[in-house]
């Protein structure tokens, strides 16, 4: 037992104890047949990542689970690592070399990749070090990187295996293309935003009929240069006679057919639409059904290419849009232009507007892989928390499309496919700018060989001129293997195989809603296909971190709160406790800097209470265990606090087991602050020198520190090390066991009554403005003799904490003259006021106060009935206003109750 400083210093405490934990290897996990495994794989942060509040929330939740289960005796492994983040990392390094006036093409692939690896070695551990500042107890010895040599083998093996089973294929297909990053994106990486634009009504001349037109509506006039048809719905009687005829494509002056297709919405625009198979996903599907040619009219950078008329070539797509509309206006071919808001895909990395683009890419057959992944969730082998995300997941699984996995960048896992240069002529025919839209490419016909190493010879022609595919795999193609590839799969030595068999399947995945489809669903698919087993049994989806107005935090809006700043200002435990306290299951978190004050205040309360206890503890008198000693405890206050502790333990344990983290934080907070500090410690001051109080103070403090440790690891470790304890670290102690026999409902009810009486007397002092220095007398009238018998012997508690002179508890007596009254269930409390205050004056003051509060209540109720206020005011402001209404109502009731009898 050591002395405790007068003030808590989080910075000194955090650095000291994190180093201590690492030095003693407390985070490391081993296979242990005597214990159950509990494993979480960290959602690997991008190697470019800097800790933000989303990370803080996500990783605090994971750390709480790991520390909790570790103390419960599980062999716990929190597998850490980082993601190579293909597009993001390449963008960072490209910006860096751009300062030297260089682009990646100037360096060439090999030299550029050397630069990226150097950048990774220099900055790649930043996020890991920041996670350590957050208190994360990962097994850092196992830290993996998605481009480790071993991990890269897993990625290549998976590609080859799936390609052999035709679950990976190459296709000439419409994809999402980012002109800024110049790479394909998956559907999930193309994030849709509402954009205010225009709907252009354009006239296409009917072939063979002068001055007769069909009018099409489009949001993207620049793509009309690639039209290969116009289409109507076959059930649209307005246009039945047009089907089979042709129009002349303006500006291009080519003839294109009018076709009928049931996908056309007769209510959109005029009911006639242009069909641009190379630049629209719906048009691409129409082209497949009608065997239409697909004409690409843009370059990779979204400038118009050589297939566009000469006047528009090399123009940016938006510049071309304006030029095309002007030229059409001159020809009288623009009927009208109207304002139009629609949803448009944007690159998830650089936020550039995505271009639907016909391109030859590699895809994964998600429909075939998705069957098992759908079934395990249907059967609740994998459970979502909160459960509503199960429906969202299953809805998405029913509408799976091919996953585009090729990216036209250099940083990443290069696709293990090799092209025969000697067969290039046949291959080029498949890549020409105008093709019949088709789904899959026959790899053998194209001279493509799937192999991890250079196959040396072409399987088609026998030639030896082989070249590897230039593209790399989507970052998510490596991270979908994370739950098992991190253990060394598929190249497993004896130890790796033992660890994989022990720790896989993992227990919980903690993640955000936006990557359910990016990552969660794909990991389930990969686990079911390659491991024949689910990758985890529970998926906890937490909400999004927002600012106090409900706006998502982002650098561009300037509303971010840096968690490292909060740690510097308030301490890590304050951040962890505050953010967890605000996390209702699955709900978004609304943050302001001020909200972290609650965590700091709680840390200070823990410190000050512990300091008081430590300064009064006699180490020689606190050795017995609470479980054995509690049977000898006689005093009500000790029996009550022991009972309340075990009820708190039970409730907090169940909350953590059911992912109700904010409930666990609230339960422990309320017990420690209000029951232990406000009531028990205050009552214990009169018996502080007795063995009974000494043992209970020490044991309840020590056991409360243990159940608080997963949420606030640093301060609990620091205090625990200063009090009598067993073991090297609090994190290596055993989670307290529930002792149902020590739950004493009779003591609970007695203390509940006493606390209510003290609160009522304190309220009378406050309402009637009786100075604390003035002694008051109290008479308590009870409804039953049994209540008198249980309350009267404990009246000294009321005397001491309510600062009462004499106190009388009886079943029957008359109400004293001019007395304030408080009414509780089966209890009336009277405080005679004559001679203590000017009763008439105070009664008049209270009546005036009631009028003022009633006026405030009326205004608040009117505000809450105002629909504009409810619609426009921030969520937090509306909540505060509702709280004010409740406060006013409660205050009015209390004051009116106080005036009863006057």
Q: What is the pLDDT of residues 412-422, one digit of tens each?
A: 999 999 998 88
pLDDT at 778: 94
- Bridge partners of 295, per DSSP, are 434
Tell me the Ramachandran region of residue 711: left when phi exceeds 0, alpha when psi lies from -120 to 50, beta otherwise: alpha
CB burial string 817-846: b at 16+ within 10 A, e below: ebbbbbeeeebbbbbbbeebbebeebbeeb
Whole-angstrom distance, CA of residue 758 vs CA of residue 779: 12
Number of helices (H) and strands (E) in the chain: give both, helices first: 31, 31
pLDDT at 429: 59
Q: Is 216 helix (H, G, I), strand (E, B) or coil?
A: strand
Contact at 8 Å (CB) between 462 and 129? no
SS in 3 state form for 169-198? EEEEEEEEEECCCCEEECHHHEEEEEEEEE
For tokens 């080859």, the residue is: 160
- Locate 243 and state its tokens: 């089907």
More confident residue, 260 or 902: 260
Q: What is the mean pLDDT of residues 712-725?
A: 96
More confident residue, 532 or 764: 532
Q: What is the mean pLDDT of residues 425-452?
A: 68
CA distances (Å), origin 628, targets 72, 130, 506, 622, 739: 21, 43, 38, 12, 11
> How many C-beta atoms surround the C-beta of residue 101 within 10 A?
7
φ, ψ dihedrals at 317, nearest 5°: -55, -40
More confident residue, 333 or 619: 333
φ, ψ dihedrals at 210, nearest 5°: -70, 140
With bands split at pLDDT 50, 70 and 90, how would you rate the model's confidence at 464? confident
CA distances (Å), origin 705, targets 176, 252, 614, 653: 53, 77, 14, 14
Whether pLDDT at 191 is above 90: no
pTM of the model: 0.88
Give every CB contact of residue 214 below 8 A, 6+ residues apart in sequence.
Answer: 203, 204, 206, 230, 239, 242, 247, 258, 270, 272
Q: pLDDT above 70 covers what percent of the chain?
A: 98
pLDDT digits 0-9 by tens, 162-187: 999 999 999 888 989 999 988 888 88
- Locate 264 and state its tokens: 């056309």
Whole-angstrom distance, CA of residue 849 vs CA of residue 846: 5
CB burial string 374-394: b at 16+ within 10 A, e below: bebbeeeebbbbeeebbeebe
Whether pLDDT at 113 is above 90: yes
Contact at 8 Å (CB) between 579 and 56? yes
If residue 708 lies in a helix (H) or strand (E), which one and from where to where? helix 691-708
SS in 3 state form for 762-784? HHHHHHCCCCCCCCEEEEEEECC
> How many C-beta atoms surround the C-beta of residue 293 within 10 A?
16
**Which is it for strands 144-145 and 81-82: parallel, antiparallel or unpaired?**
parallel
Give every CB contact of residue 537 below 8 A, 6+ residues apart in sequence.
Answer: 381, 382, 383, 505, 507, 508
């Amino acid at each position: 037992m050591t002395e405790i400083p007068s003030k808590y210093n989080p910075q000194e405490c955090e650095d000291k104890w994190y180093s201590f934990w690492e030095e003693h290897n407390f985070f490391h996990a081993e296979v242990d047949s005597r214990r159950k495994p509990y494993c979480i794989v960290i959602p690997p942060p991008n190697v470019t990542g800097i800790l933000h509040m989303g990370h803080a929330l996500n990783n605090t939740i994971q750390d709480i689970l790991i520390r909790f289960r570790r103390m419960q005796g599980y062999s716990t492994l929190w597998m850490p690592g980082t993601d190579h983040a293909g597009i993001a990392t390449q963008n960072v390094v490209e910006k860096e070399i751009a300062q030297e006036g260089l682009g990646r093409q100037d360096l060439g692939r090999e030299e550029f990749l050397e630069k990226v690896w150097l950048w990774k070695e220099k900055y790649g551990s930043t996020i890991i070090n920041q996670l350590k500042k957050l208190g994360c107890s990962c097994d850092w010895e196992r830290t993996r990187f998605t481009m480790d040599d071993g991990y890269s083998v897993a990625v290549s093996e998976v590609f080859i295996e799936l390609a052999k089973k035709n679950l990976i294929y190459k296709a000439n297909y419409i994809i999402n293309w980012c002109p800024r990053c110049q790479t394909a994106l998956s559907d999930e990486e193309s994030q849709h935003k509402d954009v205010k634009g225009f709907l252009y009504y354009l006239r296409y001349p009917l072939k063979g009929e002068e001055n007769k037109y069909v009018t099409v509506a489009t949001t993207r006039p620049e793509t009309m240069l690639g039209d290969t048809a116009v289409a109507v719905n076959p059930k649209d009687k307005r246009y039945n006679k047009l089907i089979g005829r042709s129009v002349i494509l303006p500006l291009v002056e080519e003839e294109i057919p009018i076709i009928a297709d049931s996908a056309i919405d007769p209510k959109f625009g005029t009911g006639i639409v242009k069909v641009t198979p190379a630049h629209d996903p719906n048009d691409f599907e129409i082209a497949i059904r009608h065997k239409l040619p697909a004409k690409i009219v843009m370059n990779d950078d979204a400038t118009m290419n050589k297939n566009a008329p000469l006047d528009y070539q090399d123009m940016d797509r938006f510049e071309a849009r304006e030029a095309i509309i002007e030229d059409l206006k001159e020809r009288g071919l623009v009927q009208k232009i109207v304002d139009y808001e629609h949803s448009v895909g944007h690159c998830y990395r650089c936020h550039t507007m995505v271009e639907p683009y016909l391109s030859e890419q590699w895809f994964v057959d998600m429909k075939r892989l998705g069957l098992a992944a759908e079934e395990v969730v249907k059967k609740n082998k994998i459970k979502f928390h909160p459960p509503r995300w199960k429906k969202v997941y299953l809805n998405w699984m029913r509408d799976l499309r091919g996953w585009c996995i090729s990216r036209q960048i250099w940083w990443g896992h290069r696709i293990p496919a090799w092209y025969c240069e000697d067969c290039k002529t046949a291959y080029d025919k498949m890549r020409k700018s105008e093709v019949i839209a088709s789904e899959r490419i026959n790899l053998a016909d194209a001279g493509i060989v799937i192999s991890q190493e250079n196959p040396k010879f072409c399987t088609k022609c026998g030639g030896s001129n082989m070249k590897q595919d230039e593209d790399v795999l989507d970052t998510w193609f490596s991270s979908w293997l994370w739950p098992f590839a991190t253990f060394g799969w598929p190249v497993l030595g004896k130890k790796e195989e033992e660890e994989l068999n022990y720790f896989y399947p993992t227990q919980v995945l903690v993640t955000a809603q936006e990557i359910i489809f990016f990552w969660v669903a794909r990991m389930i698919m990969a686990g079911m296909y390659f491991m024949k087993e689910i990758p985890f049994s529970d998926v906890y989806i937490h909400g999004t971190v927002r600012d106090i107005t409900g706006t998502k935090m982002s650098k561009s809006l300037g509303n971010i709160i840096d968690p490292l700043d909060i740690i510097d200002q308030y301490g890590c435990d304050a951040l962890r406790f505050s953010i967890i306290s605000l996390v209702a299951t699955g709900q978004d978190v609304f943050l302001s800097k001020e909200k972290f004050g609650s965590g700091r205040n709680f840390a200070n309360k823990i410190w000050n209470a512990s300091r008081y206890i430590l300064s009064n503890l006699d180490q020689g008198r606190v050795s017995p265990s609470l479980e054995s000693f509690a049977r000898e405890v006689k005093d009500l206050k000790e029996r009550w606090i022991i009972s309340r502790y075990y009820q708190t333990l039970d409730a907090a344990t169940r909350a953590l087991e059911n992912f109700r983290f904010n409930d666990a934080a609230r339960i422990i907070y309320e017990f420690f602050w209000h029951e232990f500090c406000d009531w028990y410690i205050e009552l214990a001051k009169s018996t502080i020198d007795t063995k009974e109080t000494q043992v209970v103070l020490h044991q309840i403090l020590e056991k409360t520190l243990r159940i608080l440790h997963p949420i606030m690891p640093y301060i609990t470790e620091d205090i625990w090390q200063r009090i009598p304890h067993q073991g090297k670290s609090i994190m290596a102690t055993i989670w307290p066991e529930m002792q149902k026999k020590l739950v004493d409902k009779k003591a609970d009810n007695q203390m509940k009554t006493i606390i209510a009486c003290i609160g009522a007397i304190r309220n009378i002092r406050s309402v009637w403005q009786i100075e604390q220095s003035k002694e008051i007398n109290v008479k308590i009238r009870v409804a039953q003799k049994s209540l008198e018998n249980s309350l009267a012997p404990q009246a000294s508690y009321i005397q001491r904490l309510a600062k009462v002179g004499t106190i009388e508890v009886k079943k029957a007596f008359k109400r004293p003259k001019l007395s304030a009254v408080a009414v509780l269930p089966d209890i009336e409390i009277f405080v005679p006021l004559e001679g203590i205050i000017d009763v008439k004056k105070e009664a008049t003051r209270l009546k005036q106060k009631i009028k003022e509060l009633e006026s405030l209540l009326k205004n608040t109720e009117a505000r809450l009935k105002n629909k504009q206020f409810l619609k426009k005011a921030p969520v937090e402001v509306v909540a505060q206003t509702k709280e004010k209404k409740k406060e006013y109502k409660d205050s009015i009731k209390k004051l009116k109750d106080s005036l009863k009898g006057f």
